[in-house]
Amino acid sequence: MEQMILHCAHARYVWNLAVEQHAHWKPGRRNAPGFAEQCRQLTDARRGNEWLGSGNADVQQQALKDFAKAKSARFRLGFGEPTWRKRYRHEGFRVIGTDRVPEYQPDGAPRLNAKGKQVMGRSVVVQKINRRWAQVKVPGCGWVRFRLTRAELPSAKTFRISFRNGQWHVAFAVIPEAIAGPGTGEVVGIDRGVTITAALSDGRKLNCPQLTVKERAQIRKHQRRAARSARGSEAKAAEYTKVARLKAREANRRKDWCEKTSTMLARSFGLIRFEKLNIKSMTRSARGTVDRPGRQVRQKAGLNRAILAQGWGLLRRRTEHKAPGRVEDVPAPYTSLRCSACGWIDKNSRKSQAEFVCTLCGFTCNADENSANNVAAGQGGIPRPRRSAGAGGVTAATGRSSAREPQPSWVGIPLF
Ligand SMILES: [Zn+2]
């Protein structure tokens, strides 16, 4: 355990050095050092710094490799520039496998080098202890036991150990195989909201698990105790750790739900349509629109919305990973106001949060299911009209997921 904390410290130190190097770089100068150059510098640094030199060279080099990957993926993945890692906040390190194993191509043929020799790759050393527990070799620590979350042992080249909220985690880097669709070409539309996390066009309503009332009360209790204890005291830190652990539980549940739901979607539908959400602006508006006084209220509203939004984004992302090429985005405006039977758009059709009755044809449906049907049909509505074109009089339809959802400034124009 002490050795693992030391690994974390070394990895963080090396990562932050790399961040600093790149932060000082300015256009016009020579290129900021790349991975190979940084590795050379690391070797020098290890000679000059006893503390660093006593650590594991592979762990430190992998931190540089992680940085290089983060740097090259900063635009593609939308995380932006890699930034500082903080003590207690971003603790973790990557370990590269030590077993030498022959590499194979996707079709099963052995991978050969230019001389016709079999290419050897690396693999992590894992062992199963029993049905629930396995162990993995960590440099300097020997065997480290971990709880199995899958039936079979992972075959990975690297793994990452992280330390969050007083818990150690190990994650193996495995590329998931795409899940084959049912082959029936069935299309599903998914409407994501706050009251119902995901409404499917086949009528199913899926809800992301939340914390129970009791767990929420526990969070408040620990927050209260933390507030009362002296500044900088051990008790205060302990109470905050408890709060963090409970909040982490919620995040874990949401992640688990997203994994299961996305697998189900990929397995049972040929084409999966999501309504296009601008989650970033929605979370921003949530923070801005609540102008009631009272700091907690505002924070909580903003935070809840932000967390929920992450769940939405994750569900969409994981579905795409599992069903590549079978996920589509449908523009969102008016999906909740448009009649899925005749195409009439009218804010009065939406009687309440749950009820939809078309003012033109009388089609009656659950409001979320109606939206999901529109998404499945690939019908969001038409582009947003200009505000100046005789707006006035039309207010927000109902308490929908976002106050920012564009509202029509005119009423009742059928779209056939
Ligand atoms: Zn209708």
Residues 208-258 pLDDT 10s: 888 889 999 999 999 999 999 998 888 988 888 888 888 888 888 888 999
Asked if residue 241 lies in contact with residue 165, where contact means CB atoms within 8 angstroms, the answer is: yes
The DSSP output letter for 110 is B
Average per-residue pLDDT in the chain? 78
The tokens describing 16, both together, are 């932050």
* Residue 190 CA to ligand 1 centre (angstroms): 20
pLDDT at residue 280, rounded to an integer: 56
Cα 338 to middle of ligand 1, angstroms? 8
**Residue 57 C-alpha to ligand 1 middle, in angstroms?**
67
Mean pLDDT of 341-356: 84
Full strand arrangement of the beta sheet holding 187-192: 205-206, 198-200, 187-192, 271-276, 327-331
H runs (alpha helix) in 175-294: 213-228, 234-268, 279-289
Compute the distance from residue 346 Cα to the ligand 1 centre, in Å.
9
- The better pLDDT of the pair 202, 309 is held by 202
User: How big is the chain, counted in residues?
Assistant: 416
Report CA(395)–ligand 1 centroid distance (Å). 21
pLDDT tens digits for range 123-171: 888 888 888 899 998 888 889 999 988 877 877 888 999 988 778 899 8
Give me ligand 1 centre to Cα 414, in Å: 9
* CA 349 – ligand 1 centroid, Å: 9
Q: Ligand 1 centre and the CA of 274: distance in Å?
A: 22
* Percentage, residues of the chain above pLDDT 70: 80
The CA 357 to ligand 1 mean position distance, Å, reads: 8
Q: How close is the Cα of 364 to the center of ligand 1, in Å?
A: 8
Amino acid (one-letter) located at 314: L
Give 286-325 pLDDT, tens digit per residue. 444 445 444 455 655 655 655 555 678 889 888 988 888 8
Asked if 110 and 102 count as a contact pair (C-beta separation under 8 A), the reply is yes
327 near 274, Cβ under 8 Å? yes
More reliable by pLDDT, 276 or 147: 147
67 in Cβ contact with 94 (< 8 Å): no
Cα distance between residue 34 and residue 44, in whole Å: 16
Give me ligand 1 centre to Cα 363, in Å: 5
* CA gap 80, 70 in Å, rounded: 9
In angstroms, the CA 356 to CA 363 distance is: 8
Number of helices followed by number of strands (H, E) in the chain: 9, 15
Predicted confidence band at 397 (pLDDT cuts at 50, 70, 90)?
very low
**What is the pTM (predicted TM-score) of this model?**
0.65
- pLDDT score at 384: 45
Distance 340 CA to ligand 1 centre (A): 7
pLDDT band with cut points at 50, 70 and 90 for residue 285: very low
Encoded tokens for 39 = 């590795």
Distance 183 CA to ligand 1 centre (A): 32
Range with lowest mean pLDDT among 71-85, 112-126, 140-154, 368-382: 71-85
Quickly tell me which residue has 């195409």 as its tokens.
343
